[in-house]
Every structure is written in structure tokens, then in C-alpha cells.
Amino acid sequence: MITKRNLGKWALAATVAAALVACGKKPEAAAPAAAPAAAEVTIAYITNGNTNEGWTLINGGAKTAGSAPGVKFIELAAEKGELSKQLAIVEDMITRKVSAIAIAPVDSKGIAPAVSKALAAGIPVVAVDTGISGADITSYVATDNILAAMVQGDWAASQLKDGDTVIYITGDLGQSTGQERKKGFLDGLNAKRKNMKVVEVATTWDQTMAQNGVEAAMRANPGAKVIACAWDGGALGAKAALMAAGKKAGDVKIAGFDGSPGGLDMMKQGWQQANAAQMLAKIGQVGVETAIAAAQGKKVDARIDTGSFLVLPENLDQFAKDSGVAQFMKVK
């Protein structure tokens, strides 16, 4: 709107400019306007409710990324790992029109309808650690579980002979993570060994289920030489089962998966001989960073592998230091 006040300002400016020209001076160009600050983005980070050591590190990485300037970070968890709770959370985030969602699904298929609804509303969705089936998500950030588990299976094969018995503790086979780790382990094992007897202990990432299952499996298969685990909580359950059976560290070899503080403490104590370690904090951090980038309209990769590493007693200390896990370990 043009006002008398504005006209007066413009007239004064013109008079000053004319005077400068008369004196042989050119008026200085106005300083360029500062670039507008980037709009704040709201990122909803929705976990599956797990609180084990691995997830503590993943969630810590997510929080680090969420503390970036210009980001409003909302962390929510599916209480007791219930799909219905996670579905309700996603619906609420759609209603609140968050900028992007980073989610660790409770159920890879069950969460798909809510995720598809979020995508249809223009909200990018990044799967963290666990994939989503049935929805065309923006990105999937996780360890290449099949590759890491194949290395675990290959190590187990090196400890066994054809026809030996191995106990395998699964994760939740309703999730892509559990499915992929089982497949990778069996592929790695069977590539080197024939006629193996694989005794499966089914769990839903529950340590007590792992302990009870291993106790029963060992009673039925006392000659088992290796116990491989889909996650380090399973390894801790296996250790408890072996101790209850009067076994000593190393009597039955244990291969973990995660590279968690508790799992690596087991290795320090001689209870675990190998670990397919993930870069746990990196999974959460890159997952949320990817969600932020997508919320800002940047192009992100559809699949991001955060890497893995086979930890053995001889490289344990270096891995623990490099990955940041050492600060959480109890056995130094």
C-alpha cells in the first residue's frame, strides 16, 4: 500500500541520491537481502517399542539426527510392540501433517495400509532397520541383513562338519528383518556344509523365549556344537540356557548378531565366538537424516545399506572403539 509516509521516504532517498551524483559519487548498491531461513520440518520417528541394547543405540542415533537445526523431532513408540498401537500413531501423524515419517515397523506387512495412506497424503516415509512390504516407501535404511547373516552362516560352517547339528534362534518372522537374517544364515551355512540338522528356536525378539527354547533344544540335541542367533538378545538367552545346563564358556560356540554392548561383553567373557555386527547408531541416524532430506524435497536413495562387520575376539576391541559401542560395555 502506498502511503504519505512511504512517499516521503522515497522522496528523501531520491534527494540523497541526486546529491551524491552531483558530487561525483555514485550511491552504493543496497546490500543483497539475506536468504530466507529454511522452513522447519517436523519428523516423526516411530519405533517398534523394543528397548533392548541394540535399539537403545539405534534410537540414540535417531535422536542425534533429530537435534539438527530447523528440525522438530517427535519420537513415539508402539507400546508393547503392538501393531494396532503403531497403526494409530501413523494415523495421528497424518492428521498432524508431519513433514516426514521414519518408522521401524512392528509388522512389515501389517503397517503397509497406514504407510500407503501417509504417502498418499504427501508425507515421505522411511523404513528404519526393518523393511515394509506392500507400500512404495520413500527409502529403506538398514543393514543388508541377508549379506550380514550369510557371513554369520559361513562362520558357523567353518566350525562344523557335514551332518552336524546347529541351533538357530530366529527373530520375529513376521518382520522382514527376521526373515532375511534366517535366509542369509541358512544360505551361508548350506553353501559350505551338507546334510546339516538345523534346530530352529522360534522367538519374537524375546530373550526369555530364546532361553526356554534353547534349553529344550539342548535337551533334545545334546550334541549341538553351535548356536547362531538372529540378534544379541537371543545370544544372551542362549548363554543363560547353557549355564543352567552346567555348560562352560566355549563348550558350545555362539554366534551373535548386532554388535550390541551385551553381545560383545559375552565375547569378552568367552561366551560368544563371532558376531555379525551392525552399525547400530548409524542406522537410526541415517534413517532420520534421510527422512529430513526427503521432507526438504531432496532426492534420496530407495535403499541405503548402513554396513556390517564380522567381529571376532581378535578384532573386538578395535570394532568396539570405532563403532562407539565400547562406552556402553561393562566388560573392559
In a domain, 59, yes or no: yes
**Among residues 235, 216, 221, which one has the least CA distance to residue 164?**
221
Secondary structure of residue 254 in the 3-state scheme: strand
In a domain, 29, yes or no: no
**Residue 193 and residue 315 share a domain:** yes
**Residue 284 and residue 153 share a domain:** no
**Residue 225 and residue 181 share a domain:** yes
In a domain, 53, yes or no: yes
The CATH number of the domain holding residue 259 is 3.40.50.2300
**Among residues 54, 29, 22, 79, which one has the least CA distance to residue 281?**
54
**Residue 319 and residue 290 share a domain:** no
What b/e sequence results for 229-242 when a residue is b if at least 16 CB atoms lie within 10 Å of its CB, and e otherwise? bbbbbbbbbbbbbb
pLDDT string in tens for the chain (332-residue length): 433 334 333 333 333 333 333 434 444 444 555 544 557 999 999 999 988 888 989 999 999 999 999 999 999 999 888 999 999 999 999 999 999 999 999 999 999 999 999 999 999 999 999 999 999 999 999 999 999 999 999 999 999 999 999 999 999 999 999 999 999 999 999 999 999 999 999 999 999 999 999 999 999 999 999 999 999 999 999 999 999 999 999 999 999 999 999 999 999 999 999 999 999 999 999 999 999 999 999 999 999 999 999 999 999 999 999 998 998 999 98
Q: Please state, in angstroms and as integers, the Cα–Cα distance from residue 230 to each residue in 21, 151, 153, following that order.
A: 79, 12, 11
- Grid coordinates representing 119 are 504417502
**Residue 154 and residue 134 share a domain:** no
pLDDT value for 50: 86
Contact 151, 276 (CB under 8 A): yes
Q: How far apart are CA 320 and CA 238, in angstroms?
A: 22
pLDDT value for 38: 59
**Residue 290 and residue 156 share a domain:** no
Q: Name the percent of the chain in helix, strand, coil, to the closest 5.
A: 45, 15, 35
In a domain, 97, yes or no: yes
**Residue 154 and residue 130 share a domain:** no
What's the total number of domains in the chain?
Answer: 2
**Residue 242 and residue 319 share a domain:** yes
**Residue 207 and residue 324 share a domain:** yes
In a domain, 49, yes or no: yes
pLDDT value for 33: 52
* Residues of the domain holding 69: 41-142+280-301
pTM of the prediction?
0.81
In a domain, 47, yes or no: yes
Hey, how many other C-beta atoms are within 10 angstroms of the C-beta on 79? 12
pLDDT value for 232: 96
**Residue 50 and residue 88 share a domain:** yes
